[in-house]
Structure 1
Amino acid sequence: MTTMSLSRRHVMSALAASLATPYLVRPARAAAPLRVGVPIWVGWMPFWVLDKKGLTAKHGLDLNLIEFPVQTDARQALASGNLDVCALNTADVVVVDAEAPLAKVIALTNASNGADIVIARGVSTLADLKGKTVALEIGSVSHFFFASLLAKAGLSEKDVTITNMSAQDAGTAFAAGAIDVSVTWEPFASQGIAAGGTALATSVDTPDLIIDLISARSDVLETRADEVKRLLDAWFEALDFVGTNKDEAFAIMADHSGVSVAEFEGMWSGVKMYSRADNIALMGAAGAPGAYVGAVDATSAFMLANDLVPSVVPAAEIIDPALLA
C-alpha cells in the first residue's frame, strides 16, 4: 500500500433496469494498484483503520490510498481519471455526472449529523449574515450546505460575500481571527470553536441533506469490479472493527486526524455511519429503489436551482448497489 498526500425522469423504471444487470465479477487481480481518494473528513477515517489493521492484504487488495486536504481536488481527480475510486458526497457525484455519466455511487458511508458546521463570531443568527464575508470551498458540499441554510433563512448568496477556501483553510483562518464566518467540517470546525467561535448552524439543522459515500468510475467498474467489491468488503470490516475495538480504532483515527481521542469521539458523534444492511435498505435493489433515490433527486434539483450544476442528474444514472451483496 502506498500513501500519498495531495496539497470531501423516470427514476423507478430506469433504476430497476440498471440494477437488473450487475457487473460481472472478475477474479483476476490487476497489476496496477487501485487508486482510492480519501479527503480529510471524520466519516472517512475508517479508511485508515482499514490500512493500519492489514485489511488490504486480508482482502487481496493492492491499494494506493491518496489523502486530499481539498475535497474538490479529489472530485476533479476522479472525473479526470486520476483516481479509480473516491470517497465523496452526493453533491460531488452530481457535479461529476452533470457533464457525462462518469461515476457511480457504490456505497453510502455516513450521513452528517452535526459534523458540518457554520462557525461565526459577532453574529447570532443566520439572518445576521447579510452583508458578511463567508469562507467556504466553492463547489463543495460546504457550498451546497450553506446555500440550503441561506434559503431556509430567506437569504441567497447575493446577500453575502463568499471567499473561496478549502475546508481546512476555512477552519484555520477562522481560528487565526482572519475571517469571522466559515463553513467547514470536522476535524477542522472544532479548531474554530476552540478559538471562541459559535456553531451558528450544523448539519443537524439539515437532516439527510449531506450523505457521504464511496464512488467509482464507471469504466473501472467495467474492468475491475472484483477489486472494488473487495474494497467494500474491507471497508465494512473496518467499520465492524470500530464497533468492536473502539479504543484501538479511535486511537488510529484520532492520530490520523491530528486530534486527541477525546476530541475525535466528539467529532464521531456528529456522523451516522451506515452498515452494509443500511446500504442495502437505502440504495435499494432491482424493482425496489430505496430512499436514497429521493435524496439524489432532491440534491440534484437544489443544485440546479442554485446554479451549481448545468442540468439535473437522474438518480438512475448515479446509484449502483450491485457490489453490496
Structure 2
Amino acid sequence: MRRPLARLVISALVLAGMSGLAACGSEQEGDGTAADPLALRLGHFPNLTHATPVIGVEKKFFATALGDTVKLETKQFNAGPEAIEALFAGAIDATYIGPNPAINAYAQSDGQAVRIVAGAASGGVSFIVKPGITKDGLRGKTIATPQLGNTQDVALRYWLKQRGLTTTKEGGGDVSIKPQANSDTVTAFAAGKIDGAWVPEPFASRLIAAGGVKLLDESELWPDGLFVITHLLVSKKFLDKHPTVVKNLVKGSVATNEWINANPDEAQRTLNEALGRITGKPLDAKLTAAAWPSLKFTDDPIPSSLRDGAAHAVDAGLLDQVDLKDIYDLSFLNQVLADKGQPGVKS
C-alpha cells in the first residue's frame, strides 16, 4: 500500500515514542508558573511565507500573549516533512507549516496526532525557470522543490500531470524533480545544475535575481487567487493538555497578522532583520518588497484549498484517500476573533 508520504517514513515505533518522551514541554503538568514556566516549542521556516511566526517572535506578540508562565522556544526547518518528523518525535509541540505535510501527519496518525488551529498566510509561491523555457517545453528538464511531499512538491507534480507530463519520486519521468533545501536550489540554479524550481518566497525572487523568469504564480491556479501556504499546526496531545496555552498562542498569531497588515513597510524591515539573524544572510530589501504583494497574511486557514491540496496529493501518488473532517480545531481562533469583535472562520 502506498504510504501517505514517501519521504516521511514515520513508523509505529516513532508514533509510540510520542507518549514516552520525558522532560519535554508537552510532558510538563499544568500550564507553568513564573518560577517554572512551561516550555512551548514552536517550529517555523526562515522564509517570507512564515512572516507571521518570525515577526511574532521578533516583536514579542507571542511572548505577550503567552505571559510569563510559558517559555517559547523556536526551531527552524527547511520544509514541512522535516518539521512533522520533529513533531512526531516529540521535539516540538507546534509548528507553522504548509498544508500537505499537515495532511500527511493527520493521515499517518489516523487523525489522532495533530490539529490545525489557525491560518497564517496565502500565496507567495512561484515557478521560476531559465529564460526561454515555456510551459510546453518542460519535458527533459530538471526542476527543484523544497522536499519530497512538501506543499510545493505536490503542487508541481499535480500541475505537470495535468499537462500530461510524468514524474517519479526517484527523479525520473518526463520531468525530473529534484527535492533539495531552498538555499541549495538558488546555488544550483545559478550554477546551471537545474532548470527551474517551484518554491516559496523569498527564494522565488532570489532565483529571479539569479537570472530566472517567472513561468507561473501559483495563485493563478486557485479560486480568487487564495490558497493556504502557511497555517498553525499543534500536537493534539499538547492541545489536550494545555488548551489555554494553545489559545494564547493563537492570540499571538492573530495579533501578529493584524500588525503585519497595518504596518507592511515596518513588517518587511522587521522580517529582513530577523531572517538575517536566523540564517546569517539578511534578505535584500528590494527582493522582499518585490515578493510582498504576492502574499496575504490571514488568520483564515482557507480549508477548501487544503482539501483540494489533499486531492492533488492523491492524484500525484503521494497520499491515500483520507477523511479530513477532524483536522481543524478552530475553536480557539474563533474565541480570539470573537473577543476582537470579528466574525469567526468555518472549517
Shorter-chain TM-score tier:
0.7 to 0.9
Partner of 1:135: 144
Partner of 1:261: 285
Please give the alpha-carbon distance, in whole angstroms, between the structure 2 residues aligned to 1:138 and 1:204: 21
Please give the alpha-carbon distance, in whole angstroms, between the structure 1 residues aligned to 2:166 and 2:132: 17
Write the letter of the residue equivalent to 1:228. V
Please give the alpha-carbon distance, in whole angstroms, between the structure 2 residues aligned to 1:230 and 1:27: 15
Partner of 1:39: 45
Tell me the percent identity. 24
Q: Tell me: CA distance 1:128–1:210, structure 2 relative to 1, closer, same or farther (3 Å).
A: farther
- 1:93 lines up with 2:111 in the alignment: no
Deviation at 1:210, TM superposition (A): 4.4
Q: Is the 8 A contact 1:172 1:192 kept in 2?
A: no
When normalised by structure 1's length, the TM-score is: 0.80
Q: Tell me: CA distance 1:295–1:243, structure 2 relative to 1, closer, same or farther (3 Å).
A: closer
Deviation at 1:215, TM superposition (A): 0.3
For residue 130 of structure 1, give the secondary structure of its aligned residue in structure 2: coil
Q: Tell me: CA distance 1:227–1:269, structure 2 relative to 1, closer, same or farther (3 Å).
A: same
For residue 78 of structure 1, give the secondary structure of its aligned residue in structure 2: helix
Partner of 2:23: none
Q: Is the 8 A contact 1:107 1:213 kept in 2?
A: yes
Q: Tell me: CA distance 1:272–1:211, structure 2 relative to 1, closer, same or farther (3 Å).
A: same
Deviation at 1:255, TM superposition (A): 1.9
When normalised by structure 2's length, the TM-score is: 0.75
Partner of 2:57: 51
Q: Tell me: CA distance 1:228–1:162, structure 2 relative to 1, closer, same or farther (3 Å).
A: same
Please give the alpha-carbon distance, in whole angstroms, between the structure 1 residues aligned to 2:31 and 2:200: 39
Q: Which runs of 5+ in 1 are unaligned?
A: 1-25, 283-291
Please give the alpha-carbon distance, in whole angstroms, between the structure 2 residues aligned to 1:241 and 1:230: 16
Q: 2:114 aligns with which of 89, 103, 106?
A: 103
Q: Which runs of 5+ in 2 are unaligned?
A: 1-28, 168-172, 276-281, 336-347
Deviation at 1:146, TM superposition (A): 0.4
For residue 307 of structure 1, give the secondary structure of its aligned residue in structure 2: coil
Q: Is the 8 A contact 2:142 2:177 kept in 1?
A: yes
Partner of 1:200: 215
Q: 1:121 aligns with which of 130, 134, 156?
A: 130
Partner of 2:32: 29
For residue 304 of structure 1, give the secondary structure of its aligned residue in structure 2: helix
- 1:150 lines up with 2:160 in the alignment: yes
Query: Greater relative contact order: 1 or 2 (C-alpha under 8 angstroms, separation 6 or more)?
Result: 1
Write the letter of the residue equivalent to 2:296. K
For residue 74 of structure 2, give the secondary structure of its aligned residue in structure 1: strand
Cα deviation per residue 1:272-316 (whole Å; 9 max; x = unaligned)? 2114xx46xx5xxxxxxxxx2x3333222221222112x222221
Write the letter of the residue equivalent to 1:139. G
Q: Tell me: CA distance 1:48–1:212, structure 2 relative to 1, closer, same or farther (3 Å).
A: closer
Write the letter of the residue equivalent to 2:62. T
Partner of 1:9: none
Number of paired residues? Answer: 283
- CA RMSD in angstroms comes to 2.2
Q: 2:89 aligns with which of 70, 76, 80?
A: 80
* TM superposition outliers: structure 1 runs of 4+ over 6 Å: none
For residue 312 of structure 1, give the secondary structure of its aligned residue in structure 2: coil
Q: Is the 8 A contact 1:171 1:184 kept in 2?
A: no
Please give the alpha-carbon distance, in whole angstroms, between the structure 1 residues aligned to 2:30 and 2:332: 14
Write the letter of the residue equivalent to 2:288. F
Cα deviation per residue 1:125-150 (whole Å; 9 max; x = unaligned)? 22211111222221111211101221
Partner of 2:311: 301
Please give the alpha-carbon distance, in whole angstroms, between the structure 2 residues aligned to 1:313 and 1:104: 15
Q: Is the 8 A contact 1:167 1:183 kept in 2?
A: no
Segment drifting more, 103-112 vs 49-58: 49-58
Q: Is the 8 A contact 1:38 1:66 kept in 2?
A: yes
Cα deviation per residue 1:160-208 (whole Å; 9 max; x = unaligned)? 1222212332233213333222222211121211111111122122224
For residue 50 of structure 1, give the secondary structure of its aligned residue in structure 2: helix
- 1:246 lines up with 2:256 in the alignment: no
Segment drifting more, 96-105 vs 151-160: 151-160
For residue 154 of structure 1, give the secondary structure of its aligned residue in structure 2: coil
Q: Is the 8 A contact 1:122 1:180 kept in 2?
A: no
Q: Is the 8 A contact 1:117 1:184 kept in 2?
A: yes
Write the letter of the residue equivalent to 2:243. A
Segment drifting more, 44-53 vs 185-194: 44-53
